[in-house]
Structure 1
Amino acid sequence: MSETTPAVAGGESLMPNAQQRAKLRNTRRLKDKFSRWGVASAGLAVVGALGLIFFYLFSEVAPLLKGADVEVLETYPHTQTSQSERSEHLVLERYEQIGATYTASGQVQFFVADNGKPISVFDVPKSDGASFSSIGYGTPVDGLVAYGYSNGELMLTQLNYRLSYPNDTRKITPEILYPLGDEPVVLDDQGHSLAHVAVQKTARGYAVVGVTDDGRLRFGRYSTRENMMTGKVTTSGRVDALPALPNGAKVRFVQVDKTARHLVVADDQARLHIYDVSDAANLTLTESVPTGRGQVTAMQYLVGTGSLAVGTDTGAVSQWLLVRDPDNVFRLQLVRDFESLPGAITTISPEYARRGFLVGDEQGSLGIYYGTSSRTLLVAKVADNPIENLAISPINGKLLIYDTSGQIGVASVWNEHPEVSFSSLWQKVWYEGRSEPEYVWQASSGGDGFESKMSLVPLSLGTLKAAFFAMLFAIPLGIAGALYTAYFMTPKMRGLVKPSIEIMEALPTVILGFLAGLWLAPFLENHLPAVFSILIFMPLMMVMVGFGWSRLPQAIRTRAPEGWEAAILIVPILLTGWLCIELSPHMEVWFFGGSMRQWFTDYGISYDQRNALVVGIAMGFAVIPTIFSIAEDAVFNVPRHLTQGSLALGATRWQTVVGVVLPTASPGIFSAVMMGFGRAVGETMIVLMATGNSPVVNFNIFEGMRTLSANIAVELPETAVASTHFRVLFLAALVLLALTFIVNTCAEIIRQRLRKRYSNL
């Protein structure tokens, strides 16, 4: 019994231990499983959140990819359908309730747009015995229509809609105004019939062009003055004769711009002509160019009158710009061709506030185009007969279609974002008023006739420019500082330096941007020589101090504890910086004629006070802690046996750093650089406050830039929700997110390859 009891007792004492170990293993297994699933779930949640961000951004951007859509809702006969009463011009007001037709008999007929029910009729005044001979109209936003008569006279009309709200219900009352008075003005003193007329409202009055039936061109400038006491309007004007077209050509169409400086004429020989009428005493024919696309059958200025939409008998549709050449002479330049229509073009209707226009042809087809983006948004058959007139509402939501049978079609229109295309976002665009195609970001302006310029190239390039100069400043300092701190510095000094640098990351970037914009930028501008002298003399000073220290007696050098040598450089660095700044004004006088900035300008180098140099320093200061912290940890975690083995084999500490530490820590250092780059790309407040926000396309370190993130921060709060500008800003955010995603993905791939390559060390 005495022999078995200990065994039993021992067995009894071992059983609880085995059970405890099994229980611990089960608990550990559950914890591992829970942790594995927790980490996997968290990772999937991060990926899902990132996917949702992409999905949301794309949902806001997707409407930009959609073209136009037109649906004919109703068709009805116009109240006047005889040939003598055919419609010469069709208009639809902004509330899309009332349409108006200008007839050949000189009547303006208003009707309900949805069903054609007559509302009112106005007779345009004319002299006794005169008959209608032609009609012309300016840009739609002015609502000007000119009647030309058989006796050489012209009557200018303007639509107006008075609003009232009886019983809280909107009531629209149409009326006709006569800007030059209620009597016709004489355009041709010889009394010939006006075969063609054109009109445009200018800053000084009204510009009118008439072409007589014998081929003479008459150009008139009119202005009005109202008597404040009597209310009587007095009209004054001047009419001049223009040179005839060359080669006996006859005028088919004529247009005048809003500056009253240029006249464009289309003849019957498939040519376009531009007249310079800015000097009344010297009206000249500047240029004649062939269309190259057939005989012109329709021609209209787009809003702002900086470009012309031209249609021909071959169905070709094109856009022409008035471009100033180096001799300050305006010439016609073909800039865009669009998708052709099946039949000859019969009418062109420009939009009210955009560079879009609608085109009808003789086969009943409709084309919707947009100039700036070079987009053909829609080509569809909407009528069974040739289209004579088109009228788009000022808000681009409804369309009236008038064909040769006298039928009016009412169509709903969806055309929300025609301004955007791949070419307008990423390629050079020839904008109105520019001498050549350019990359431009200027999304809004105060004028209704402004042409939106939404190229993402300046913003993307500005983002890379800001990140490049910031990394150029941060990478050497961050990595070199991390190497020295982790490998050469004593633990006590490292315990002071590392937290001090890492706490820099807690500084708000808005404060850094504020200091960069209000203090650093003016300081650098006033001490430009100091910037370059510091870049030269600071490294030289360090080399000289190091060389001098190495030549000191051993007894002196041993007094400085190992790893504290960096403290010796503090005073020389401060003295060198102070000396460079103090000598800066003298260096400007000695070498740069008193002003280094002016010296740059004389050599064709632009200098802005808030520039990439300021951003590089300020944003580099913000990025350094990120790079330093990650790189320092990577270097510090290099296995000690590797460095000790290298030193034991006779390598110096510097050789060990280059040959052992750097390759081993390279995945972590590369990650640090990529993290810093991602921080620089997404930085907003520093570039917002320190760059001037100029969307320029260059890598000049002395000029500013505008980044994607800063542009979003500036413009998104002020843009209309769901507008094209709004969605393009979301597209900019999507581009920024995609850029960082691609960079981080590539960085991770490279990091894994580096890790695999040096894992055997």
Structure 2
Amino acid sequence: MTKSTDHQMPELDFNTPALKRHRKVRALKDRMAGMGIAIGGSSVILAVLLICFYLLYEVAPLFSGASIDPRASYSLPAQNEGKSLYLATEEQSEIGMRVASNGSIVFFSIESGSVIETIENPRAEAVTSFTVESDTSRLLAFGYADGKVLINQHSYRISYPDGKRQITPFVEYPYGEEAINVADFAIEKLAIRNSEDGLTIAASGDSQTSVLKVTRDVNFITEEVELTEQREAIPFIADTKSLLISGNQRSLYLVTKSGELNEFDLRDFDNISLKDNIALLSENRKLVSMSYLVGKSSVMVADSSGRVSQWFNVRDEETNEEKLHFIRDVKQPVALVDLAMEQRRKGFATLDERGLVVIYNATSTRKVIDERLSDETARLISFSPRANGLLLEDGKGLHFYHVDNEHPEVSWSSIWGKVWYENYPEPTYTWQSSSASNDFEPKYSLMPLVFGTLKAAFYAMLMAVPLAICGAIYTAYFMAPALRRKIKPVIELMEALPTVILGFLAGLFFAPFLEENLAATFSILVVLPVGILLFAYLWSRLPQNIRWLVPEGWQPLLLIPVIVFLAWFCLALSPIIELSFFGGNIRGYITHDLGITFDQRNALVVGFAMGFAVIPTIFSITEDAIFSVPKALTQGSLALGATYWQTMTRVVLPTASPGIFSAVMIGMGRAVGETMIVLMATGNTPIMDFNIFEGMRTLAANLAVEVPESEVGSSHYRILFLAAFVLFIFTFIVNTIAETVRQHLRKKYGSL
């Protein structure tokens, strides 16, 4: 008799109050987590966009246009003194000055035009010629029919009575109120050049030219200034149109009416000779103005065709002599009337016969302002010392304009193209943002910095990528698991080492060590791979009972003494190699025999130091990518008869290729953005030379060096932000390419 028992399944209730509360809490947590992830991701994107927009905000003023606004207009102050020969303003643009045709100096208010003071010329004779040494020096010279020259200087004294600024103009005579005897003929053309050592005056008239050199000596006993005069005539040049003395007082430039420039050598004053002859102007063109830019290196020549050309001395390779060379020019469609120079920058303004004023920068050849300010009666223009004001005279009187022109020296051509800088033998890419002199020509080419960034990254990746990827392949696929668990954390721990420590060690220890052991360094690069392969071959030929003494996957430990021995052997052999093949001085051989410049802190040092910093990043990501390849793939490949090497190259590496490529790109991003290592181990020289023994300057290192020293809001400051933006864009492009290639590799090999 059988007994059947009914087994009744217990009923599960999923809608109990506890489970309902649990589901609600879990749903709330899911929503909060989703919101948190969304907010966090959006915040990262927003932060990156804000950084980008802030960089653009700082960079945008570099390329914004300049503006000019009228501030005051009035009739010519002290019209009874005659027409103006020259206009100027003082530092604060509160007081203007004009030199009248009778030799009087009239000071007036810029705001109202009211005359403050009129200083009569000490000489009653009529002025036959007039010149200005430069707007900066404020030195004026008047020539007369008796061959004499009177020199004076307009100056300004600032005081604060009752706490209010008061500017008092005055005229002084640095060489006395008595006129200096320069020539024996009526002076028609005049040029002067002053320095701490003395004065040079050139005068021309009646088909004659005379040069006077005044030497200033200080008596060490009485401390009195003693003046010594020496006068010489120069060879006859007919139809002299203009005279100009070089800034170093070594040359006199005499331009004829036909546009021919004759350069006389003033160094041997007892025997002045004609040094060079240049066709300055084309046919049917007349000289309007010829003067120096600030710094007294570049001669600016304006002619009747509307052309302004820039000339400066360039050393001739054949004769090793400096010759005046045409550099660049700008052109207006009609004849020019006047030319004005900025006093602290390489800028100038042209005034043409239509009353159109155009402001250029000589270095960047950038036209910043093009505006008609007057009619056909305009005849004179002048910049204020800070170039924020412009004084213009026409038939109606004087007009003062405020000029907003902050960054004229920056243009796309000056940033990315070659520029022919003053006294350079040829156009170059140059970064030199500051100097001790106000006459300095800023050089803002970013090309050397971009080149240095790519050069440093190239040499770092050249060292890091093969070592990191090969090491990761062996560690993830061939190494014993127990040894892998020790090796991987040690290599990853290298990434925690501060780069400033690596840079310090590279610059102060490794660079001198490398210089002293160059032969050993290059021999190691050859001997070490060959020695390791030879040891591996010999190990494979040993009896199995010996090879089995080392567990599978632990063989790399045997290479440690081999590597140490080979490195020691190369170091010990270095003096012998250097003595036998390089005359005992491999650096001298590289420099003199091969013609390759050598700098102690160079790209080779950066390659080793920055490669050491990048290796952990590439190794860790690559090792994880290879180790994450499903075991079923490798086991299936081995089961089908493939060897370990075939499985690695045809199954594992293609599957892990997206991760490996990402590792390389992340490592490259690290190398591009590295600051302290390249700052301390490269010499920080912004040059464009792929030579492995030369240094470089990167964008990141340049920012670290110069941002703390730059003036906020200056062109230098904004150019540095432009460099940061370029680095930002470069990183963005590299990451975009990396992600695109990674997705392509994932689709291609994802089906394995």
Report the TM-score, using the length of structure 2 for normalisation: 0.95
**656, 670, 673: which one aligns with 2:661:** 670
- Write the distance in 2 (CA, Å) between the matches of 1:99 and 1:627: 67
Cross-structure match for 1:239: 231
Is residue 443 from structure 1 mapped to residue 436 from structure 2 by the alignment? no
**422, 425, 430: which one aligns with 2:415:** 425
Cross-structure match for 1:162: 157
Q: 1:386 to 1:272 in 2, by over 3 A?
A: farther
Q: 1:543 to 1:229 in 2, by over 3 A?
A: closer
Is the contact between residue 277 and residue 284 of structure 1 (CA under 8 Å) also seen in structure 2? no
Is residue 262 from structure 1 mapped to residue 255 from structure 2 by the alignment? no
Cross-structure match for 1:693: 684
Is the contact between residue 197 and residue 216 of structure 2 (CA under 8 Å) also seen in structure 1? no
Once the two structures are overlaid, the 10-residue window that deviates more, 229-238 or 117-126, is 229-238
Is residue 274 from structure 1 mapped to residue 272 from structure 2 by the alignment? no
- Write the distance in 2 (CA, Å) between the matches of 1:62 and 1:432: 28
Once the two structures are overlaid, the 10-residue window that deviates more, 471-480 or 388-397, is 388-397
1:509-566 CA distance string (max 9 Å, x none): 1111100010000000000001100000000011011000000001111111000010
**Secondary structure of 2:575's match?**
helix
Cross-structure match for 1:3: none
Amino acid at match of 1:200: R
Deviation at 1:202, TM superposition (A): 3.0
Cross-structure match for 2:49: 51
Cross-structure match for 2:381: 390
Cross-structure match for 2:3: none
RMSD of aligned Cα (Å): 2.1
**197, 200, 203: which one aligns with 1:207:** 200
Cross-structure match for 1:618: 609
Deviation at 1:20, TM superposition (A): 7.2
Cross-structure match for 1:85: 82
Is the contact between residue 647 and residue 653 of structure 1 (CA under 8 Å) also seen in structure 2? yes
Cross-structure match for 1:459: 449
Once the two structures are overlaid, the 10-residue window that deviates more, 113-122 or 692-701, is 113-122
Once the two structures are overlaid, the 10-residue window that deviates more, 576-585 or 509-518, is 576-585
Deviation at 1:102, TM superposition (A): 1.1
Amino acid at match of 1:41: I
**Identity between Structure 1 and Structure 2 (%):** 46
1:61-210 to 2 correspondences below 5 Å: 61-82=59-80, 85-126=82-123, 130-188=125-183, 190=184, 192-210=185-203
Is the contact between residue 397 and residue 412 of structure 1 (CA under 8 Å) also seen in structure 2? yes
- Write the distance in 2 (CA, Å) between the matches of 1:445 and 1:92: 27
1:453-493 CA distance string (max 9 Å, x none): 11101111001111110111110111111111111111111
Amino acid at match of 2:253: V
1:404-450 CA distance string (max 9 Å, x none): x2611011010111111111111110000111101111110001111
1:385-534 to 2 correspondences below 5 Å: 385-403=376-394, 405=395, 407-534=397-524
Amino acid at match of 2:60: A
- Write the distance in 2 (CA, Å) between the matches of 1:638 and 1:461: 38
- Write the distance in 2 (CA, Å) between the matches of 1:59 and 1:455: 21
Once the two structures are overlaid, the 10-residue window that deviates more, 282-291 or 681-690, is 282-291
- Write the distance in 2 (CA, Å) between the matches of 1:203 and 1:693: 36
- Write the distance in 2 (CA, Å) between the matches of 1:357 and 1:146: 22
- Write the distance in 2 (CA, Å) between the matches of 1:124 and 1:283: 36
- Write the distance in 2 (CA, Å) between the matches of 1:386 and 1:630: 75
**717, 729, 738: which one aligns with 1:747:** 738
Q: 1:154 to 1:52 in 2, by over 3 A?
A: same
Is the contact between residue 274 and residue 331 of structure 1 (CA under 8 Å) also seen in structure 2? no
Deviation at 1:314, TM superposition (A): 1.8
1:680-720 CA distance string (max 9 Å, x none): 11111111111111111111110000111111111111111
**Secondary structure of 1:575's match?**
helix
Is the contact between residue 81 and residue 406 of structure 1 (CA under 8 Å) also seen in structure 2? no
Is residue 224 from structure 1 mapped to residue 221 from structure 2 by the alignment? no
- Write the distance in 2 (CA, Å) between the matches of 1:552 and 1:193: 106
Is the contact between residue 260 and residue 277 of structure 2 (CA under 8 Å) also seen in structure 1? no
- Write the distance in 2 (CA, Å) between the matches of 1:27 and 1:644: 44
> Structure 1 unaligned runs (5+)?
1-5
1:681-760 to 2 correspondences below 5 Å: 681-760=672-751
- Write the distance in 2 (CA, Å) between the matches of 1:568 and 1:682: 37
Deviation at 1:38, TM superposition (A): 3.3
Amino acid at match of 1:244: F
- Write the distance in 2 (CA, Å) between the matches of 1:547 and 1:729: 55
Cross-structure match for 1:597: 587
- Write the distance in 1 (CA, Å) between the matches of 2:221 and 2:562: 83
- Write the distance in 1 (CA, Å) between the matches of 2:303 and 2:425: 26
Q: 1:625 to 1:122 in 2, by over 3 A?
A: same
- Write the distance in 2 (CA, Å) between the matches of 1:229 and 1:401: 50
- Write the distance in 1 (CA, Å) between the matches of 2:626 and 2:9: 53
> Structure 2 unaligned runs (5+)?
1-5
- Write the distance in 1 (CA, Å) between the matches of 2:277 and 2:437: 30
Amino acid at match of 1:92: T
- Write the distance in 1 (CA, Å) between the matches of 2:48 and 2:246: 51
Is the contact between residue 198 and residue 254 of structure 1 (CA under 8 Å) also seen in structure 2? yes
**Secondary structure of 2:13's match?**
helix
Amino acid at match of 1:267: T
Report the TM-score, using the length of structure 1 for normalisation: 0.94
**Secondary structure of 1:141's match?**
coil
- Write the distance in 1 (CA, Å) between the matches of 2:114 and 2:221: 41
Cross-structure match for 1:320: 311
- Write the distance in 1 (CA, Å) between the matches of 2:670 and 2:461: 10
